Structure 1
Amino acid sequence: MKSLLYTLLVWLLLYPIHLCAQQDQKEYTSLRVYPETSEGLPIRSVIILIHKDGKSYTADSTETAGFYKVASIYPGSSFNRSITNMAMRRIAEDTRVSRVNYDLYSNNLTSPVVLVINIYILAPGEHKVYDGKKGMFASRSIHDFPLLIETNKAELTLILNGGTGFYNEVNPFFSQGEAFTQGNPIANDPGGKGVRFWGEGYVEPGIGGIIELGNSNIYTYGAVTGLFSARNTADIYSSGAAAYGAIERLYAGVVFSQLGKKDLNLDISYGRQTFQLNDGFLISKYSGSSNAGDRGSVYLNSRTSFNKAGLLKFNSRHWSLQGFYLEPQELSRHNKAHTTYAGGYLGFNNNKHWDVGFAYINRVRGKGSYQTNDGTISQKGLYVLNPKIWITNIANKGLFLKSEYAFEGHSSGNMRANAWYIGGGIDLKNTVMKPMFYYRYAFMQGQKSDSKYYTRFDPLLTGGLGDWVQGINMRKVLGNGNIITHRLQARINPSSSVDVSIDYFHLRADSYINVGGLAPITQLKSKRLGDEITVTSHWYINQHFMLLGLGSIAIPGKAIRESVPGPIRDWSSIQLALFMFF
């Protein structure tokens, strides 16, 4: 089985080169992604393409304004499939429009998305056809699965997602699993020297929909799903097989569209749902729920819904105002920390180059504490000030710049911590295989030995493979506090459905004092943490299936090599997973 896994991974990484020779190199924004994987992600930009008389062009300002008014989906809002589908139906009601659909593009599965709306105009002499009701209830045909019923006022659809993956770890935790998992309640059989191989799977059935209330431009929407996950044997932390089932999504919301002369949009929702702030630097949708231990999904990461999420989103053409109340889904059923965050975000996005914003986050509840030289500080009372500036396609040359800063203080304790990053690169969309090159420097402060303040940065709910998992293996040992990273990335897109990327991370510590880190590295003898190289490929086989392949090797630095008395070895990983979305 393991040899088959290696063979499939090599094939997945090389197959894009074959695809490149066979497929047209159309002008794609980046990698096409699925609506189901994009739920809750920010919309970075909205592009409206008009298809008329055999030609395609970007809508001018007048056309864009008209279709924006109808769709009421703006940059800076969050993607929701039901809301977007309803917006497409509103556009399709235009007497000039033959049909309409949309595509989503992103740099990877965890980044903000680009929404491309394709509007097909009636040809001369062509008559508009009104489809009426659609779906299995109307057609009595399974071919319409998963759509149950669709009218110009409502949609009801089944949800069926799933996935299976196989994972091969060589010398996990640098062959010192017992040492690096001390105090971890789920680590009853951590991997160490040698090979750890296992499989995981999950299925998520459910139902979701949206309906307009009369002719009011007010819509109610929601979804409910259950998620059942399992693994076949011991994973990197826990012994034996495991299976777990529970409610995953359970939320409802209401959208007030086309409000006032500015055609504003107000979206209010509450329940078990996903949320992400920017690209996950502070809050990632993939940190909304725990997946390890008896949930049997530590690598598939199948659960993403927060236990409680109250969201308020107010959007105009270029401005967005958000409020959020978040309680992550914790792993333990007993002795929960009940960590809860409340905050807001104000952003400006001109849908061309500029995306700037400012977030405020407050930890309003939680039992945890920070260890200081003089005792402890309660984690409750932490607040974060977070400005952001992203600039894309600088001088129309494909150059881009991204930067955020986070200051952490405390309402009642001596805490002053800082983190920031700046990254830049070039995206050559008009070149064969559309290469992208990116460099990022990230600083996450450690504890100062001579400070009266607690200065170690708390990464909150950071995460996301391809964004803020700074080394897929290193992350499990180092976390994201007291770290300085240099990241180099190169990526190619042989087609709109395939990408291959290689990432190099060089990691150093900011401080020798690492209280808050894992037990063997609470006091570092060196600031050289190590390096990691990761190769990743996504292949969107069709609109319902995606194959993910990943290979990574982490090389420990002096700080890790001298942290335990036993031998320290390089840690390599091979992963192959197939995902299903309906």
Structure 2
Amino acid sequence: MKSLFNASLLFLFISLMACPVFGQIDQIFGIEVVPNTVEGSPIRSVVILLEKDGKEYLADSLEIKAFYDAFNIKPGSIFRQFSVDLAISVFLKQEEIKSASYKVYTPEISGPVVLVIRSSFWTEEEDKKIVAKKSLPFPSLIETEKSKLTLILNGAIGLYHDQNAFFSKGAEFTQGNPVANNPAGIGPRFWGESFLEPGIAGITKLGKTKIFPYGAVTFLVSGRNSSDIYSEGTALKGTIERLYGGILLPQLGKKQQLHIDLSAGGQFFQLNDGFLFSRFSGSANAGERGSVFLNSRTAYQMTAWAKVHWKKFNFSAFYLEPQELFKDRQSDTRYLGGGISYNDNRRLDLGLHYITIHSSKSTYATPNDRIPLEGLQTINPKVWVNNIAGKGFFIKSEYAFQRNSNADMVANAWYLGGGLVKQTWKKSPSLYYRFAFMQGDDPTTTRFERFDILQGGGLGNWIQGINFKKIIGDGNLLTHRIEVKAYLAKNMELSFDYFFLSADSKSNLGSLAPISTLQDKNFGQEFTTTYRYFFKRNFLFLGLFSWAKPGKAISSSFESNVYDWLTFQASTFMFF
């Protein structure tokens, strides 16, 4: 391993001294986040910045390959904080290196991350002075080129105000919901939520082998101070959040291009940008957990995950068990899946996954009978093309085909989005349009055709209206989304989203009772403003305002008036 690092670093050092022909970089990659908060997220791209004469430059393709070989951290793989931490520790041991560090950015709230690695080299004129070892910053306890042990301390506090929640029909929309003992209706509902998550995590190398066992455990306490839009009164709940272990096997094979990561336990999981599986859908936060808006719990109850990275390809297999709210009402839904993806870190990000519901007690309501979730199979190809013609244009699309081996069920869903990102412009503006189709059932046929979003949604890309999401779900849904986004500063993002939502079919069985049969297909519109401000390195302020206006599909389902639904949210997060 050491010879590989030395060869890679020597190549980089010579290239830098030869005054390479790449331009100075000055762009925004997204909002910086603390690494432990995006553990398990897909890596969308890796950016390597080299310092020369006090200025930063973007590494060219040959230098990026050298870094890949040394770090073994590549686009398309899963972000593991310890993998990057150890790579940086080993990297800093090389005598040519003056400094090295990394940061993680999220261009979208729940999307894949961008990993930015910064490095500088000693010049011929500089003395390679031995710098005194600095004390480890909090929360690190131990950090060497073979091991790391760190504390985890996350938390948040938020204030929330909803006006006319559920379009003033809370009692009707929440009938049968076991946590809705005091649903909001016409008028205001104001409350606060908070959580604290302490824990510890570590990784180490076993002797002279290439085996790195790792693991983490955290305990999360969450609560609210008064009634939220579902439940009455205060709430306080403490449970184990993360509890997992794994093994990293890096740089295997003759050319050391094979990287294996095996893990199991309560941990985060996300597929692509959350279309079918979102990290924010892995757990439950309502009722006695008192975190319905902070969404503090996101780890799946069980995630067994095998990942193999070879060159620009990633292979994965996974078993997922979501964490459900009530122990005596478990659906015992289990997912099995796997797939292959390709990412060249320049233009193409391709993937193909297969997922099946291995077991479940739940059923779908159909016009004739109930059919089981167990046996549902989903095939999910993905095509993302970035920076088309070098002008900042991009296209994103996924398709999902579903069938059920235990019932006559076939359904389809897809989305196609495109836009423009100008990272080199002032404020780094972007424009994005997306149309998403999720099939509804045709009651005139014997086949059931309503699409099941699986564990998609959560926050960010696939919430499809932060208010509407709470009543219409994602099956039988057509959405137009327009997003305009800009960075007021490198750590400050402002975005505006517009959603127009309608049904594919007037037969809406599987949705909430008041809208199970529709008189009209127009659900309505929603306007959302989101503000993210990352400050003091370990704190994030998230402000949100959303205005949902009901369409005829909602208003015609009630004899009395429905009213616009407004939500105001202000949350401050702490991450260590």
1:18-50: CA deviation from partner (whole Å, max 9, x where unpaired):
xxxxxxx94122332331331111001111111
1:441 Cα shift? 0.1
Q: 1:431 aligns with which of 422, 425, 429?
A: 425
Whether 1:467 and 2:483 are equivalent positions in the alignment is: no
Tell me whether 1:216 sits opposite 2:209 in the alignment.
yes
Partner residue in 1 for 2:128: 127
Of 370, 376, 380, which aligns to 1:376? 370
Q: Structure 2 stretches of 5 or more lacking a match? A: 1-24
1:328 aligns with 2:329: no
Between 35-44 and 554-563, report the one with greater CA deviation.
Answer: 35-44
Shift of 1:495: 1.8
Residues 279-294 of structure 1: pairs in structure 2 closer than 5 A:
279-294=273-288
Shift of 1:128: 5.5
Amino acid at match of 2:385: I
Which of 498, 501, 504 is the aligned partner of 2:498?
504
Match of 1:549 in 2: 543
Tell me what 1:93 maps to. Answer: 93
- Name the counterpart of 2:575: 581
Give, in whole Å, the separation in 2 of the partners of 1:67 and 1:313.
21
- Please state how far the C-alpha of 1:449 moved relative to its aligned partner: 2.2
Alpha-carbon shift at residue 262 of structure 1 (Å): 4.6
Question: Which residue of 2 is the match for residue 19 of structure 1?
Answer: none
Distance 1:370 1:131 in 2: 64
Rounded Cα–Cα distance in structure 1 between residues aligned with 2:209 and 2:63: 24
State whether residues 29 and 107 of structure 2, in contact with CA within 8 Å, keep that contact through their aligned partners in structure 1.
no
Backbone CA RMSD of aligned residues: 1.4
- Specify the alignment match of 1:295 in structure 2: 289
AA aligned to 1:321 is F
Describe how 1:43-54 pairs up with structure 2 within 5 A.
Answer: 43-54=43-54
**Which one is further off, 99-108 or 199-208?**
99-108
Letter in 2 for 1:98: K
Find the counterpart in structure 2 of residue 179 from structure 1: 172
State yes or no: 1:38 paired with 2:44: no
Secondary structure at the counterpart of residue 467 of structure 1: helix
| Deviates most, 146-155 or 269-278 | 146-155
How high is the TM-score relative to the length of structure 1?
0.93
Rounded to whole Å, the distance in 1 between the matches of 2:318 and 2:161 is 38
Matched residues, number: 550
1:152 — aligned with what?
A: 145
1:446 counterpart residue number: 440
Q: Deviations over 1:87-128 (max 9, x none)?
A: 211222232111211112222220001111111111223316
Q: Distance in 1 between matches of 2:547 and 2:304?
A: 39
Task: Say whether residues 1:240 and 2:233 are aligned partners.
Answer: yes
Tell whether the 8 Å contact from 1:38 to 1:109 is kept in structure 2 after alignment. no
Deviates more, 1:439-448 or 1:103-112: 103-112
1:421 aligns with 2:407: no
- 1:145: Cα distance to partner? 1.8
* Identical columns (%): 47
Q: How does 1:344-423 map to 2 (within 5 A)?
A: 344-423=338-417
Q: CA–CA distance in 1 between the matches of 2:306 and 2:431?
A: 36
Checking the alignment, whether the CA contact within 8 Å between 2:492 and 2:533 is kept in structure 1 is yes
Task: State the alpha-carbon separation in 2 of the partners of residues 454 and 396 from structure 1.
Answer: 44
In structure 1, list runs of 5 or more residues that go unmatched. 1-24, 136-143
Structure 1 residue aligned with 2:332: 338
Cα offsets for 1:467-516 (capped at 9, x unmatched): 00000000001011101000000001122211000100000100000000
Give the deviation of 1:131 after TM superposition. Answer: 6.0
Aligned to 2:470: 476
Match of 1:29 in 2: 29
- Give per-residue Cα distances to partners, 1:344-403, cap 9 Å, x unaligned: 020010110000000100110111001223312110110100000001111110100000
Q: Secondary structure at the match of 1:73?
A: coil
1:391-446, Cα deviation, whole Å (9 max, x unpaired): 11111101000000001111121110000000000001121111110000000000
C-alpha deviation, 1:146, in angstroms = 0.8
Task: Quote the Cα distance in structure 2 between the aligned partners of 1:378 and 1:486.
Answer: 31
SS at match of 2:251: strand
Q: CA deviation at 1:216?
A: 2.1
Distance 2:62 2:389 in 1: 24
1:259-274 correspondence to structure 2 within 5 Å: 259-260=252-253, 261-274=255-268
Q: State the alpha-carbon separation in 2 of the partners of residues 204 and 188 from structure 1.
A: 28
Gap change, CA 1:155 and 1:257, over 3 Å in 2: same
Q: Answer yes or no: is the 8 Å Cα contact 2:367–2:443 preserved in 1.
A: no
Structure 1 residues 494, 133: CA separation in 2 closer, same or farther (over 3 Å shift)?
Answer: closer
8 Å Cα contact 1:134/1:150 also seen in 2? no
- Alignment of 1:494 onto 2:495: no
SS in 2 for 1:563: coil
Give the match's secondary structure for 2:461. coil
SS of the residue corresponding to residue 294 of structure 1 reads helix
SS in structure 2 of the partner of residue 334 of structure 1: helix
Equivalent residue number for residue 16 of structure 1: none
Q: Distance in 2 between matches of 1:43 and 1:337?
A: 32
Question: Which residue in the other structure is 2:13 paired with?
Answer: none
Amino acid at match of 1:522: S
Distance apart, 1:134 and its partner CA: 4.9
User: Which residue does 1:254 correspond to in 2?
Assistant: 247
